[in-house]
Chain A
């Protein structure tokens, strides 16, 4: 069942990605956008079902890598729909849809290489830690997506690209910057609380807050950079190219942490 639901979600994300990119290149019509949103919405419902069933059946599922990536994908979709509800820009899914596809694909690939985490204390704090970290990463993804589109469109405008050659369905620079701003403003506090709850959980589980684990170190680096982005936004009112680049860097490091640190470095997150 886990595989079937995961595969169905994967296909839906792939279709949504294709629809969104085809639409972006060929000046997407509203109906294609709606279809893409429907696919992603259905994918979200399937993932919710999958998580509910597996969580009720076995809480220990939390410590499996596939489970780790699937809630991350679910959180990303949830956050995206919440931001979409607020800003009404389909564009943010241009980045979210392929990312969900990659996360689900990875989850399915890792399905048969799972090993349980050691000395695990599954409890509400771990759930809070995981959900907030995923939500924080999801918001990073949205910031990075908006930032990428910002840099692309900004380059076209700086190079005086003809109006007819500018993509028609990409929001204005200020709209993209606003997506970046909203995601960073929510994302940083969420990620911070998620990380702190992780340290508290570690103290409860292992008797120490910090153990110089590579995952912990890189998480603090991400927090510092994310904090810098948040500070620049809030205190200096920085916007545009600099914040777009920062958002992309933060997200790339977060992805590095998930896919490289978890897989190749000795860490208690490499389950």
Chain B
């Protein structure tokens, strides 16, 4: 077991709890930086594309995590903000803006639009907010069709390549560059996110999640703080959407549908609500399942000559996993990891109720 002796206030403020933790994260950074080397060695970048896809999902997951996991506002409409980001990016690039300006700008405009939509919706609580955002998600594909001049409607729109100071980045022709670009965005957002959580803004988010009434009694303006959370969340989702567009190469009205919104929510629940790690763990699970199913099918058909072609197998599996998590591990994968770690750290003094939560995250709407 590790004892951390704090000798200055910095120990509570710095990003890492102790040096060993910093070393572990440095090793993780080295690992993700070196990952492409493996794919260069085997000369096949297909799986690297999948990993890049996971990173993009993780960015979208962090967007939803901030809103749902840390502010306690559920949203079933985050694909909408991704769509905003994606189409804004396409149009801004089409208008001749350089990517380095178009990309952040598309996120910020998506954030602003998201906040405008959110302001009336934010008066709602819990399941009603979820329903309102669900409606938004259902409307998205229709709006994409209606806004044909900008979105290409049903026919879809091609996403231009990324160009940074003359360096062309395309998902297929330069997969390694695209991976590093997405990784850089992801790391930057993680850093912003961590900073947020250790400063007053992030604390006011979690305060609202845990008790609205006492957040108000501490001087936190509920509407403004929720709107801020929504803005940051929608902005991040917009950035993820823009990257998703670059990754897909071609987007139609069916790209950012309800399934995408639900997948995002699923992801953060499986990963662990209220932890940045949760967004990444969830993205890994969501990213691995389709690959695993495809490989499993190939294996069964080539080895045993069994052909399984059940439509909707993927969704059913997702749903099954989600139900299992809600029943057996509401804290998600990261929560499970925390429990295992604490078990060994405190061995043999671990108690089952050490991580018991008193209130569920949605119960923010209680009054005195």
Q: Do chains A and B interact in one complex?
A: no
